[in-house]
Amino acid sequence: MGSRSSRTRSPRPTRDERRAAFLDAAVTAIRRDGPSVSMEAIAREAGVTKPILYRFFGDRDGLLRALSERTAAEVDERIRAALASGAAGDDPREVLRSTIDAYVSLIDTEPDLYRFVTDQSGSGPTISGLSAAIARTVALVLGEELRARGRDSGAAEPWAYGIVGMVHLAGDWWVRTRTLPRERLVTYLVDLLWNGFAPFAGAEVTDRR
């Protein structure tokens, strides 16, 4: 029988691997206890003490930022895929639908995680953290598409923040009330972005005749 020193030992996890494991534990705790989960509960789920958790993230806000960045990266991947599909000749309206649905699907399937990364101040949703990260990605992709079509790319950033801000607040209202199916919410948002207030303008013209 070989000596203890000759046995193969598993390599110690790197700092990045431990950080990722702590984020996984935080998501598990949030799903179980809700968006008001305590740092103590997250530390217990991770199998460490709270000071160790603070050593990696600083404080609750640091953990929130880290989760926002990771969640935004996951949503970004789906949004980029939806926006990029437009270059393949897909119906632009359906591309818009896929893009909005990628965001709303997070709210639908991970409501507690969504609340944790958006209700940062305790006073309601803000256009920061997760939403700001997604808006920056949408702005980059929109800018690339506008330049490729010979259009003014200056509109990309305000458009991106406007789109994400609208979807963010509408989605926040929807996840609290759920007064209509998710598919209908997405359709209403697509209609507003695609058609604007043209139906009201048409109604005014009709009324004047």
Q: Return the closest-CA partner of residue 35 out of 100, 136, 161, 130.
A: 130
- The pair phi, psi for residue 179, each rounded to 5°, is -85, 0
Mean of pLDDT over the chain = 80
Q: Are residues 115 and 136 in the same domain?
A: yes
Q: Are residues 204 and 117 in the same domain?
A: yes
Which one is predicted more confidently, 62 or 141? Answer: 62
Q: Are residues 100 and 31 in the same domain?
A: no
Per-residue pLDDT at 202: 59
Distance (Å) of CA 169 to CA 55, 126, 150: 34, 8, 32
Chain segment 93-150, per-residue pLDDT in tens: 887 888 888 888 888 998 898 888 876 544 444 455 677 777 887 888 788 878 888 8
pLDDT (average), residues 60-89? 76
Least confidently predicted of 51-65, 93-107, 167-181:
93-107
Query: Residue 5 domain-assigned?
Result: no
Which one is predicted more confidently, 136 or 36? Answer: 36
Q: Are residues 177 and 89 in the same domain?
A: yes
Least confidently predicted of 64-73, 79-88, 170-179:
79-88
pLDDT (average), residues 157-162? 90
How far, in Å, CA of 130 to CA of 67, rounded? 9
Q: How far is CA 208 from the centre of its chain?
A: 44
Per-residue pLDDT at 30: 95
The tokens for 84 are: 């990029």
How far, in Å, CA of 194 to CA of 96, rounded? 8
Query: Residue 4 domain-assigned?
Result: no
5 pLDDT higher than 60 = no
User: Quick one: what percent of the chain has pLDDT higher than 70?
Assistant: 79
pLDDT (average), residues 186-197? 89
Q: How far is CA 76 from the centre of its chain?
A: 7
Query: Residue 6 domain-assigned?
Result: no
pLDDT band for 86, please (50, 70, 90 cuts).
low
Per-residue pLDDT at 209: 40
Q: Are residues 81 and 40 in the same domain?
A: no
1 pLDDT higher than 70 = no
Q: For residue 197, what is the DSSP state?
A: T
pTM of the model: 0.71
Question: Please, are residues 44 and 25 in contact by the beta-carbon 8 Å criterion?
Answer: no
Per-residue pLDDT at 49: 93
Radius of gyration of the chain measured on its C-alpha atoms: 22
Which range of residues forms the domain containing residue 156?
68-208
183 pLDDT higher than 90 = yes
Q: Provide the number of structural domains found in the chain.
A: 2
Question: Please, are residues 71 and 137 in contact by the beta-carbon 8 Å criterion?
Answer: no
Q: Are residues 49 and 87 in the same domain?
A: no
